A = this chain, B = another copy of it.
Amino acid sequence: MIKARITVTLKTGVLDPQGKAIEGALGTLGFGGVAAVRQGKVFDVVLEGDDRAGAEAQLAAMCDRLLANTVIENYTVDIA
């Protein structure tokens, strides 16, 4: 079994209205000093087998084809 964590975040410069809304909500709740909030997604994927090199390639392909929109998002893959 291979456990991996994929983190997908918006590229710099891409507007993040959800992050802005959270920033506003934190201010409303009394949390001062929040300069910026940006929201992303995380995927915890468990793969069968023990082929780490193959897993790395497969996880990158999954990101490119389904998990991330590479026009506006970056992704990182961390294999545990």
From the candidates B19, B25, B33, B44, name the one contacting A66 in the complex (CB within 8 A).
B25
**Copies of this protein chain in the complex:** 2
B29 A66 Cβ-Cβ under 8 A: yes
Asked if A46 is at the interface of the complex by the 8 Å CB criterion, the answer is yes
Chain A interface size band reads 20 to 34
Tell me which residues across on chain B come within 8 A of A41, comparing CB atoms: 39-42
B1 A31 Cβ-Cβ under 8 A: no
A residues near B, CB below 8 A? 1, 7, 9, 19, 22, 25-26, 29, 31, 33-49, 58, 61-62, 65-67
Lowest 10 A-B CB distances belong to which pairs?
Answer: A33-B48, A35-B46, A36-B46, A40-B42, A38-B44, A42-B42, A35-B48, A37-B45, A33-B47, A39-B43
